[in-house]
Each structure stands twice: as C-alpha cells, then as structure tokens.
Amino acid sequence: MLGKGFNKVAFGAVAGVLLMAAAACGGSSSGGGTTASEEPAAGGASSSSAPLKVGLAFDVGGRGDKSFNDAAYAGLEKAKAELGADIKELSPAADGSNRGDLLRQLADAGYNPIIGVGFAYDADIKATAAEYPDIQFAVIDSASSGPNVTGLLFAEEQGSYLAGVAAAAKSKSGHVGFVGGVENALIKKFEAGFDAGVKSVKPDAKIDVSYLTPDGDFSGFSAPDKGKIAAEKMYQDGADIVYHAAGDSGLGVFQAAAAAGKKAIGVDSDQRQTITETNLQNVIMTSMLKRVDVGVFEFIKAFQGGAKGGQNDTYDLKVDGVGLATTGGEIDDIKDQLDKAKQGIVDGTITVPTTPES
C-alpha cells in the first residue's frame, strides 16, 4: 500500500481503486470513480515533455498530523517513487492565512500541477488558477472552480456509515460519540453517515455529538486539548466508543479513550499505524479510511498522461475510495456484517444521508 499507515484496508484491496485505469481525473462527478480525458491539458505534461514537478500545499497542521495531510503526502511520495516526480510541499501558518501565498510560491517556482489539501483552499485555488491559466491545479474536498482545476471529492458519509455499523456492533453500552473538528458541511457528512450506520444496527442507540469550533474557524483541526475534553465528557457520560473527524485534534480523543479504558475510531489514515504511542494505538478499534493518497496520486498520474481540469473526481465505496482499516483485528469478527452493509451501499439498496437528521 501507500506510505505509513496504508497497508491494511477492509473490503478489498486498493487495486479496486487503481482499476480506474490511467487516471481518475476527468468526466463528471457521478458518485463513482471517473476516468480522465485523453485530451492534452493546457499546461499539462506528458511522459515525453518537461520533467514532472509537483507542488502540494498542506492544510493547517501540515505534514506529520498522522491523518489528512499525511494521507495526501503519501500520494505525493508515491508519485515521486513511481512517476519520477520532483516534489515540493509547503505548510500554511497556524491560522491558514497564507494559503494563497503558498500556491503562488509553487507556481512561480515552476511546479505544475499544484494541489491544495482541503476545502479551505477553495477560494485561493480559484483565484490562483485564474492568474496562472497554464498551470493545472487540484483541490481536495472542494469542487472544480475553473477550467484548469480538478476537484478531488470523497464519499465520506459512506465510509462513516461503515464506521457506525462497527461502533454499534461492538458497543456494549449502546452509547457512542462523534467528535467533529469544525462544524461545517463537509464534517457533517461524516456525522450523518456515522449516525445512520449506528442506527441501522441499534435504532435506540445514544449518539453524543460535539464540534470543537464553528464553521470558518479551522483551529478545530489542530487542537488536541479540545478533542480530549470533548471525548472525556462523552466517556464520562457512558459512551464506550467515540469516532472523530477532527484531524490532529483526534490525538486528544485517543488520549481520552486510553485514560477511560474505552475505544475510539480514527479517520483518514489507518491511525492505529500512524500513531506512535503504543497505549494510544491499542484504543483505536478501526479507522475510516479516506484514500486521499489515491486521489492525489491518480490526479498526478492523469496530469502526466495529458489530462486536463475542469471536472470533479469522486472516490466512493465502489472504488474503495473510502473504507475501514483492519489493523489489530478488532473488527474481524463482524466482517460479514460490514461486507453486507458495504454491498448494500454499492448496489443502492442502502442510501446514506449526507446531512444529519437533526
């Protein structure tokens, strides 16, 4: 698999993703993997043209967050190893105020394509792409905003549904929790899917929900102290499993779980492998994998093959773009139940909501 923390994925190998052929970078967003246009891109590269130079601008927290940013970096590293890419990554200020500056630094240094990690880059990508029309851009978790921009989107609600099924099946108290980093539409997709998955198994389950910061305040993704406080209260109130979608703040959730002798569910990466503290690894029963690494690599590969932007690529359960990690074997005993839920989503008999019920 790709990079640290990506070598165990439930419900099918990542080969399912890579069957998107030469690229996952073209056409319209349809809920499944898409295929790249074969037309050469403005500013695009081919295997016989200029050297491949790829720039990546991290979200707040930067490289080393053991979650979202590190997942993106794993895809960048794979492009270096397999495509011969010259890579460069930059991290924003703690408040993310210089995102646009990072994109322009990479563009001025000759990097093409350039990837913005996270929906918070939306406006800056749109503006920078207009200023540099001969450079191709991609933005993770945001839709395309220009002819030279590709949106890399994920069905977070589908993977979170499976996390909810796992939480409900393994919970002894029938009481679980969800900690979101920022209360916005994207993170509410995680909450909505998780809630639906829990209730599909235990309709009367109690689900505590806490967001660390309001919409627009992205510090909720880099505040482990707040994550710890939120999870501590849930465990004190009777929850025995807490799922987080809070970036680096998830570390605090794991710390609270360890102190309480309870369990947690990680996000984005296989966090039982990316977290280095043994006592924290042991509380992570599974992680909802969001294959940002695959999205980043496939976009770069498509660019190298001549694909152009102006579209969105969606990674869902059909292509194993999301899923659950099996490291530690704690969900092996409910594999059949999880496989059944996954198949229902894939074949359309289960529709997963993207907004919470209340």
The structural domains of the chain, ordered by start, are 15-154+291-319 (3.40.50.2300), 156-290+321-347 (3.40.50.2300)
- Report the mean per-residue pLDDT for the chain: 88
Q: How far apart are CA 116 and CA 141, in angstroms?
A: 9
Q: How far apart are CA 249 and CA 263, in angstroms?
A: 16
Q: pLDDT at position 200, please?
A: 98
Checking if the pLDDT of 356 tops 90, the result is yes
Torsion sign over Cα 196, 201, 207, 213: negative
SS3 139: strand
Amino acid at 285: M
Report the 10 Å Cβ neighbour count for 30.
12
Q: pLDDT at position 241, please?
A: 98
Torsion sign over Cα 295, 296, 300, 301: negative
Report the 10 Å Cβ neighbour count for 336.
8
What tokens were used for 317?
A: 């359960």
Checking if the pLDDT of 4 tops 70, the result is no
Q: pLDDT at position 32, please?
A: 34
Average of pLDDT values for 124-135?
98
What tokens were used for 110?
A: 């000759």
pLDDT tens-digit readout, 323-345: 999 999 999 999 999 999 999 99
Residues 6+ away with beta carbon under 8 Å from 11: 162, 317, 320, 323, 324, 338, 339, 342
What tokens were used for 39?
A: 């037309």
Q: Which residue has the higher pLDDT, 298 or 27?
A: 298
pLDDT tens-digit readout, 157-212: 999 999 999 999 999 999 999 999 999 999 999 999 999 999 999 999 999 999 99
Average of pLDDT values for 42-71?
78
Q: pLDDT at position 119, please?
A: 93
Residues of the chain with pLDDT > 90, as a percent, come to 81
Report the 10 Å Cβ neighbour count for 294.
30
pLDDT tens-digit readout, 84-111: 999 999 999 988 899 999 999 999 999 9
Q: Which residue has the higher pLDDT, 204 or 49?
A: 204
Q: pLDDT at position 314, please?
A: 94
Q: pLDDT at position 49, please?
A: 57
Q: How far apart are CA 353 and CA 191, in angstroms?
A: 10
Cis-peptide into 224, omega within 30 deg:
no
Q: pLDDT at position 275, please?
A: 92
Residue 197 near residue 165, CB atoms below 8 Å: yes
Q: pLDDT at position 316, please?
A: 96
Average of pLDDT values for 273-277?
92
Q: How far apart are CA 27 and CA 60, in angstroms?
A: 30
Residues 6+ away with beta carbon under 8 Å from 347: none
pLDDT band with cut points at 50, 70 and 90 for residue 65: confident
C-alpha to C-alpha distances, 324 to 120, 217, 285, 319, 350, nearest whole angstrom: 25, 28, 10, 13, 18
H-type helices in 109-264, by residue range? Answer: 122-131, 156-170, 185-201, 224-236, 250-260
Residue spans of beta strands (DSSP E) within the chain: 53-57, 86-90, 114-116, 137-140, 149-154, 175-183, 206-214, 241-245, 263-268, 284-290, 311-315, 322-324
pLDDT tens-digit readout, 209-241: 999 999 999 999 999 999 999 999 999 999 999
